[in-house]
Amino acid sequence: MIEVKDVKKAFGESQVLKGISTVFETGKTNLIIGQSGSGKTVLLKSLLGIFTPDSGTISFDGRIYGELTKDEKRELRTEIGMVFQGSALFDSMTVAENVAFPLRMFTKSSRAQIKERVDFVLERVNLVDAHKKLPSEISGGMQKRVAIARAIVNNPKYLFCDEPNSGLDPNTSILIDNLILEITKEYNITTVINTHDMNSVMEIGENIVFLKHGLKAWQGTKEEIFRTDNKAVTDFVYSSNLFKKVREAYLKDDKKS
The secondary structure of 31-58 as a DSSP string is: EEE--TTSSHHHHHHHHTTSS--SEEEE
Main-chain phi, psi angles of 86, to 5 degrees: -100, 20
Q: Confirm whether pTM is higher than 0.85.
A: yes
Question: What is the percent of the chain where pLDDT is above 90?
Answer: 77
238-252 pLDDT tens trace: 877 767 777 777 677
Q: What is the pLDDT of residue 127?
A: 93
Average pLDDT taken over every residue of the chain: 92
33-70 pLDDT tens trace: 999 889 999 999 999 999 999 999 999 999 999 999 99
Q: What is the pLDDT of residue 237?
A: 83
- Residue 183 CA to residue 6 CA, distance in Å, equals 30
Q: Which top CATH class is 2-91+155-220?
A: alpha beta
Q: What is the pLDDT of residue 209?
A: 97
